[in-house]
C-alpha cells in the first residue's frame, strides 16, 4: 500500500565524510560476526516493540509468548533486518 508523505517532513540529514566513515566502520564491525548481527537485530526489535507494542501485529508469523527471542522466526527476522 502506498501513502503520500506529508510535505512537513524535514529533509534527510547530510552526513559529512567523517560521519560516513564512522558509520561504515561501525557496520563493518557489526557485519563481521553473525552472532553480533543477530544480537543487534534482536535489541532493535525489542526497542521497537517496547515503544510500540502494536507493531507486533506487523509480524504475524512470529510468536509473541515471552520467549520470542528464542524462536527461529524471530532470530531470522532480526538477522535479516541487520543484513539489509
Residue 31 per-residue DSSP state: T
Record the cell numbers describing residue 66, joined without a space: 515471552
Segment (H or E) for 73: helix 72-83
pLDDT in tens, 8-28: 667 778 889 999 899 888 877
- Which pTM does this prediction carry? 0.59
Mean pLDDT of 23-42: 82
What count of other Cβ atoms lies within 10 Å of the Cβ of residue 41? 22
Amino acid at each position: 500500500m502506498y501513502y503520500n508523505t506529508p510535505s512537513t517532513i524535514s529533509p534527510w540529514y547530510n552526513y559529512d565524510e567523517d560521519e560516513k566513515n564512522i558509520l561504515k566502520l561501525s557496520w563493518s564491525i557489526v557485519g563481521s560476526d553473525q552472532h553480533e548481527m543477530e544480537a543487534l537485530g534482536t535489541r532493535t526489535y525489542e526497542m521497537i516493540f517496547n515503544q510500540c507494542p502494536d507493531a507486533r501485529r506487523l509480524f504475524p508469523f512470529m510468536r509473541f509468548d515471552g520467549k520470542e527471542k528464542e524462536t527461529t522466526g524471530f532470530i531470522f527476522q532480526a538477522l535479516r533486518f541487520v543484513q539489509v
